[in-house]
């Protein structure tokens, strides 16, 4: 075979939004209205997500990181409190603990599902453990039944980081109904988008009110909460909050996108199945294993390589796919390996399964707007790279 590989004419990204005319029209309608920041679309979007998931309350934020920060505030994370989470996640899943002065504690992942291993959570428990941040990596729900049992036995708060898993389910229950609070993200590569945006859903009224307070400077006008009342104009700052509000422009887009969520998720599952069929029987490749109780919404498709069966390393495989205009990526570098964490107490942290996973993984493009030709071009590129570099 030739040393050069077939290439697409343009780069196929690993993720991308799908916006249609009705989405654009929804945004234009808000721009023509009286409210473009905090207006009626916020509540409408919150209600739509809460009803879809099946919970009482939802609080929209300007992005998913802000939503996680709000969840840590509502969970009363304080300096010296420890919060157990996974190292194989985006930085926000642990940074939100640092924002509150707490200490992230990294427990290793399950070698099959790549999610937080409940047994490793138990091994990391101390008398300072305050909460668990369980992440649904790639869209596959974590083992929430076991994690809830651990939390219940030890009096811990569960923050469910479901940035990857809107539309997924576990044991027949939709993601969003587990733990104390669940965070969804609406970044353009996620299942629906508001440009930037995030949301916390919960059934706990106390947490709901704290989240509302936190996203709006710690300020309230609720007469029932005021310590005094000077008149109709009166407001009070009762906590040190932030300006983490979503705009009506974003929320209107979210409302429109929610109508398409199930179709988007169905298409993601279809693409993942094509990949599984193409790569499932190939020696040296490991396709994503799905837990029997989980129904993933497939934010990412991660393909692992037995590198001892290839003539080159992961970097060369990655570069060969990029050279073929396949926008592969790597999700994620274990958080504790980042320079900031290394300089702030994590230089001795080591999670063997997380390290093994990181060193052997490549994420393939996966988003609902991919055409059949796009999917076939990814499969063809992987097969060509496989044939060229297999030992």
Tell whether the torsion through CA atoms of 23, 28, 29 and 34 is positive or negative: positive
pLDDT at 7: 79
Place of tokens 């994590």: 346
What residue spans define the domains of the chain? 21-258, 262-389
CA–CA gap between residue 199 and residue 50 (Å, rounded):
10
Q: Contact at 8 Å (CB) between 8 and 359?
A: no
pLDDT score, position 157:
98
Tell me whether strands 294-295 and 285-286 are parallel, antiparallel or unpaired.
unpaired
Q: What is the pLDDT of residue 109?
A: 98
What string of H, E and C letters represents the secondary structure of 200-214?
EEECCHHHHHHHHHH
Could you report the per-residue pLDDT of 3-25, keeping only the tens digit for each? 555 678 899 999 999 999 999 99
Q: Tell me the C-alpha distance between 273 and 281, whole Å.
A: 13
Cβ count within 10 A of residue 379:
17
* DSSP label at residue 338: S
Task: Return the closest-CA partner of residue 177 out of 141, 140, 138.
Answer: 141
Q: How far apart are CA 175 and CA 145, in angstroms?
A: 12
In angstroms and rounded to an integer, the radius of gyration of the C-alpha atoms of the chain is: 22
Give SS3 for 171: coil
Both tokens of residue 303? 């393909």
Q: Please give the distance of CA 334 from its chain centroid, rounded to a whole number.
A: 15
Distance CA 77, CA 13 (A): 37
Give the pLDDT confidence of 99-131 residue by residue, as tens digits: 999 999 999 999 999 999 999 999 999 999 999
Q: What Å distances lie between residue 193 and 90, 239, 254, CA to CA?
A: 18, 30, 6
Which CATH number does 262-389 carry? 3.90.1150.10
73 vs 71: CA distance, rounded Å: 5
- Residue pair 222/18 in contact by the 8 Å Cβ criterion: no
The rounded distance, in Å, linking the Cα atoms of 35 and 45 is: 15
Strand order in the sheet with 361-364: 285-286, 301-305, 361-364
The angle formed by the CA atoms of residues 2, 301 and 338, to the nearest 5 degrees, is 95
CA–CA–CA angle 265, 268, 274 (5° rounding): 145
Q: What DSSP line would sit under 17-34, residue for residue? A: ----HHHHHHHHHHHTSS
Flag residues of the chain having pLDDT under 50. Answer: 1-2
In angstroms, rounded to a whole number, what is the distance separating the alpha carbons of residues 204 and 262?
26
Q: How many helices (H) and strands (E) does the chain have?
A: 13, 15
Whole-angstrom Cα distance, residue 215 to residue 207? Answer: 12
Could you tell me if 199 and 57 are in contact, meaning their C-beta atoms sit under 8 angstroms apart?
A: no
> Does the domain made of 21-258 have the CATH classification 3.90.230.10?
no
Domain 21-258 and domain 262-389 have a common topology: no
**Angle between helices 372-389 and 314-323 in degrees, nearest 10:** 140
Residue 332 · residue 358 · CB < 8 Å? yes
């Amino acid at each position: 075979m030739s040393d050069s590989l077939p290439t697409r004419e343009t780069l196929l990204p690993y993720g991308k939004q799908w916006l249609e005319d009705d989405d654009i029209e929804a945004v234009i309608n808000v721009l023509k209205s009286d409210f473009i920041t905090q207006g009626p679309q916020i509540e409408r979007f919150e209600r739509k997500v809460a009803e879809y998931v099946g919970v009482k309350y939802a609080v929209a934020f300007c992005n998913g990181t802000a939503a996680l920060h709000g969840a840590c505030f509502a969970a009363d994370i304080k300096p010296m409190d420890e919060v157990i989470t996974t190292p194989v996640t985006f930085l926000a899943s642990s940074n939100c603990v640092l924002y509150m002065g707490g200490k992230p504690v990294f427990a290793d992942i399950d070698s099959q599902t790549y999610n937080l291993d409940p047994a490793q959570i138990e091994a990391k428990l101390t008398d300072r453990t305050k909460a668990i941040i369980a992440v649904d990596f790639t869209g596959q729900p974590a083992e929430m039944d076991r994690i809830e049992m651990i939390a219940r036995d030890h009096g811990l708060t569960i923050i469910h980081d479901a940035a990857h898993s809107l539309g997924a389910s576990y044991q027949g229950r939709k993601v969003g109904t587990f733990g104390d609070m669940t965070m969804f993200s609406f970044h353009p590569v996620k299942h629906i988008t508001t440009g930037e945006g995030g949301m916390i859903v919960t059934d706990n009224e106390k947490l709901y009110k704290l989240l509302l307070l936190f996203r709006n400077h710690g300020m309230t006008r609720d007469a029932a909460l005021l310590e005094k009342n000077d008149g109709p104009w009166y407001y009070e700052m009762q906590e040190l909050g932030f300006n983490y509000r979503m705009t009506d422009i974003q929320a209107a887009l979210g409302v429109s996108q929610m109508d398409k969520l199930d179709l988007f998720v169905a298409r993601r599952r279809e693409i993942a199945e094509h990949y599984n069929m193409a790569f499932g029987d190939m020696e040296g490749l490991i396709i994503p294993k799905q837990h029997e109780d989980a129904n993933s919404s497939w934010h990412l498709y991660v393909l692992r390589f037995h590198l001892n069966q290839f003539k080159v390393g992961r970097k060369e495989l990655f570069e060969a796919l990029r050279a073929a205009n396949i926008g592969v990526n790597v999700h994620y570098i274990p958080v504790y390996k980042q320079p900031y964490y290394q300089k702030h107490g994590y230089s001795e942290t080591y999670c063997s399964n997380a390290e093994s996973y990181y060193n052997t993984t490549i994420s393939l493009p996966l988003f609902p707007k991919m055409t059949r030709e796009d999917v076939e071009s990814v499969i063809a590129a992987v097969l060509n790279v496989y044939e060229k570099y297999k030992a």
